Structure 1
Amino acid sequence: MKLSAFADVCLRTVMVLGAPNAGQLTSREIAELVSVPYNHVAKAVLELRTLGLIDVARGRNGGATITQVGLDSSVGELLRTLDHRQDVVDCTDHDANGNCPLAGGCRLRTALSAAREAFYRALDPLTVQEICEQSPAVTLLPFPTVRRSA
């Protein structure tokens, strides 16, 4: 199972923000820490904020922090939410009408969807906080103190 690039950036973002003593980080700081372009991290931050997994403060002293809901979130459920692909395989664009000639009796699509769900189910018991407790992001953080505002 391969994660979408967007889901990968979102997971990296929550792993950095969920690292012990991460504090408040800007999207630019997160982008540098996870080696991802700023605009990709900015999109991830927007989505994670919409989902209630992080809080974002704007302005000069702004930045993102992970919420308790974010820390308590299931990794499997988060990936289900972030993966906007409908099918594991692309069953279109194979003939002039955009249909696969095997679609009528093909069971591969159903089997692959079941396999993807099994992948997510295996990650359901794992929380974001659990993947952050031993996160290598702790060693990546260049900030000696937490910048979280009171």
Structure 2
Amino acid sequence: MRLTTRTNLAMRTLMFCAVNDGRVVRKCEIAEVCNASENHLAQVVNTLAQKGFVETQRGRSGGLRLARPATEITVGAVLRAFETGMPFAECFHAATNTCPLIGTCRFRDALEAALEAFYGALDKVNLSDLVAENHGLIHILKLVEGRPLPACDGPAGA
């Protein structure tokens, strides 16, 4: 299994917001620190907002922040929001499945059980678990007064 870049960037964005809790952060700040394209990040932030993980605000002091406490955002929920749109294997998508083994294959059942175990394990991990007392991560992601911020062009926006 391999996570998409969008899912990886979604987790980076949420960790950035969690480390900077209580502050509205800007996309350009996240993009700079997380080594991401601001355009790609905009798509991820849009999905995170639609799924209720972050709140966005437009305007001069705009940006984004967590929509709920980090303890209430599970890694499993985030991964499902970003990964479940694509079938794990051909046989998981009835409309496009052409596998002739579908009626007798036990491999699909094994994959389905493995995916349930995978997401089940990630449902036990919340965003707070990833950032709390993680001093190395906090050092990288924390926006600190006095430390130069990335130069953000244009309006703040989310």
TM-score scaled by structure 1? 0.79
Q: Gapped runs of 5+ residues in structure 2?
A: 146-158
Q: Which amino acid aligns with 2:111?
A: L
The residue that corresponds to 1:77 in the other structure is 77
Distance (Å, rounded) in 2 between the aligned partners of 1:104 and 1:46: 39
Distance (Å, rounded) in 2 between the aligned partners of 1:55 and 1:138: 21
> Contact 1:19–1:135 (CA<8 Å) still a contact in 2?
no
Q: Summarize the Cα distance change of 1:143–1:103 in structure 2 as closer, same or farther, 3 Å threshold.
A: same
The residue that corresponds to 1:16 in the other structure is 16
Q: Summarize the Cα distance change of 1:72–1:98 in structure 2 as closer, same or farther, 3 Å threshold.
A: closer
Q: Which amino acid aligns with 2:127?
A: V
Q: Gapped runs of 5+ residues in structure 1?
A: 146-150
Distance (Å, rounded) in 1 between the aligned partners of 2:52 and 2:136: 24
TM-score scaled by structure 2? 0.75
Mean Cα displacement is larger for which, 52-61 or 76-85?
76-85
Q: Summarize the Cα distance change of 1:65–1:131 in structure 2 as closer, same or farther, 3 Å threshold.
A: same
SS at match of 1:56: strand
Residue 116 of structure 1 and its aligned partner are, at CA, apart by: 1.2
Moved >6 Å (runs of 4+): none
SS at match of 1:143: coil
Q: Percent identical across equivalent pairs?
A: 31
Q: Summarize the Cα distance change of 1:51–1:136 in structure 2 as closer, same or farther, 3 Å threshold.
A: farther
> Contact 2:91–2:99 (CA<8 Å) still a contact in 1?
yes
Two-structure CA RMSD over aligned residues (Å): 2.8
The residue that corresponds to 2:121 in the other structure is 122
Determine if the alignment matches structure 1 residue 112 to structure 2 residue 111: yes
Q: Which amino acid aligns with 1:121?
A: G
Deviations 1:80-123 (A, max 9, x none): 2221345322349xxxx971233332221221122111011011
> Contact 2:21–2:65 (CA<8 Å) still a contact in 1?
no
Distance (Å, rounded) in 2 between the aligned partners of 1:69 and 1:89: 34
Distance (Å, rounded) in 2 between the aligned partners of 1:135 and 1:114: 35
Distance (Å, rounded) in 2 between the aligned partners of 1:20 and 1:60: 19
Deviations 1:10-67 (A, max 9, x none): 1111011111557221112111111121122111111111222212121122111113
Q: Summarize the Cα distance change of 1:56–1:98 in structure 2 as closer, same or farther, 3 Å threshold.
A: closer
The residue that corresponds to 1:48 in the other structure is 48
